[in-house]
Structure 1
Amino acid sequence: MKKLDIACIIDDDPMYTYILSRQMKVIDFCETLLVFHNGLEALKYLKPILESPDILPDVILLDLNMPVMDGWQFLDEFTKFNISKKVTVYIVSSSIDQADHDRAATYKEVSHFYVKPVTRQNLVEILDEMNVN
C-alpha cells in the first residue's frame, strides 16, 4: 500500500488531531501532514496554492463543528475553486445526525463520512481507496 504525499486534517480539537496524526504515522499514511484548527485557517493556506498540484493535499479529513468557519462553510468555499488536481474530502465528525450524512452526500468532493473517532482500519480504508483512484 502506497502512502499519500500530503494529507490534511481540519479539526479544532488538539487532542484528537494529535491522536489521529500519531495513528497516521504508525501506518505510514502520508509523507506530509497539514493540520488546521478551522476552515478559515485551511482556506487561507490552500487558496494561494490551488494552481500547484504538487503541494495540494491528496486528502482532507474534515470536521464539521468548528469555531470561526465550520466544515460546511469550508466545503461551500472549497468547492467554488478551480482546483488543479483531485482532492478527496472525508468528513470526520461526531455527528450521528442523518441530515449531516445526507448533506455530505450532496458534495461530489466528499468520499465518505466517518463518525469519530477514526480508527486505524478507517485510515487503511482511505489509503486503499486513494491508491485505487
Structure 2
Amino acid sequence: MKKIDIACIIDDDPIFVYGLKKLMKIANFCESFMIFNNGEEAINNLTPILESGKNMPSVILLDLNMPIMDGWQFLDEFIKIESHKKITIYIVSSSIDPKDKNRLKNYQSVSKFIIKPVTIDLLGKISKELIK
C-alpha cells in the first residue's frame, strides 16, 4: 500500500505522540512526521511551508486541549493561510463533549473527530481515505 508522505501531529502529550509515532511506523502510515507541541508552534512552522508549497503535510492530526494555543485557535489561524494543496485535518482528542463535535461544523477543512486512543485499524482507514 502507498504511504502518506508527511503526517503532522499537533499534541502536547509526549506519551501520546510517542505512541502514535510507533503505531504509524507499525502501520506503515507515512514516510515522515512533523511534530508540534501546541498550535502556536505549529502555525509558526507550518505557515512558511504552506506558503512555499514545499514539503507540505498530507494530513494533520490535531489535539484540541493544549497550552499556549489550543486546537480551535490553531484552526482559526490555519484557515487564513494560503495553501498550495488541500491538507486533511483530523481532530484527535480525549474530549467527549458534544459541543466540540458540533463546533466542527464551522470548519470545512476538518475531516473527522476521533476520540483517543488511535488504533492501527483507524490509521488504516485514514490512509485509505487519503490515498484514493
TM-score range, shorter chain: over 0.9
CA RMSD after TM alignment: 0.9
In the superposition, the TM-score normalised over structure 2's length comes to 0.97
1:85 counterpart = 2:85 = yes
Superposed displacement of residue 107, structure 1: 0.8
Superposed displacement of residue 104, structure 1: 1.4
Q: What's the secondary structure of 1:105's corresponding residue?
A: helix
What code does the residue aligned with 1:42 have?
A
Q: What's the secondary structure of 1:66's corresponding residue?
A: coil
* CA–CA separation in structure 1 for the residues paired with 2:5 and 2:87: 12
What code does the residue aligned with 2:77 have?
E
Write out aligned runs for 1:32-47 (5 A): 32-47=32-47
* CA–CA separation in structure 1 for the residues paired with 2:26 and 2:53: 26
Q: What is the aligned partner in structure 1 of residue 3 from structure 2?
A: 3
Q: What is the aligned partner in structure 2 of residue 104 from structure 1?
A: 104
Superposed displacement of residue 105, structure 1: 2.7
Unmatched 5+ stretches in structure 1: none
In the superposition, the TM-score normalised over structure 1's length comes to 0.96
* CA–CA separation in structure 2 for the residues paired with 1:103 and 1:89: 14
Q: What's the secondary structure of 2:5's corresponding residue?
A: strand
Q: How many residues align?
A: 132
Unmatched 5+ stretches in structure 2: none
* CA–CA separation in structure 2 for the residues paired with 1:102 and 1:61: 18
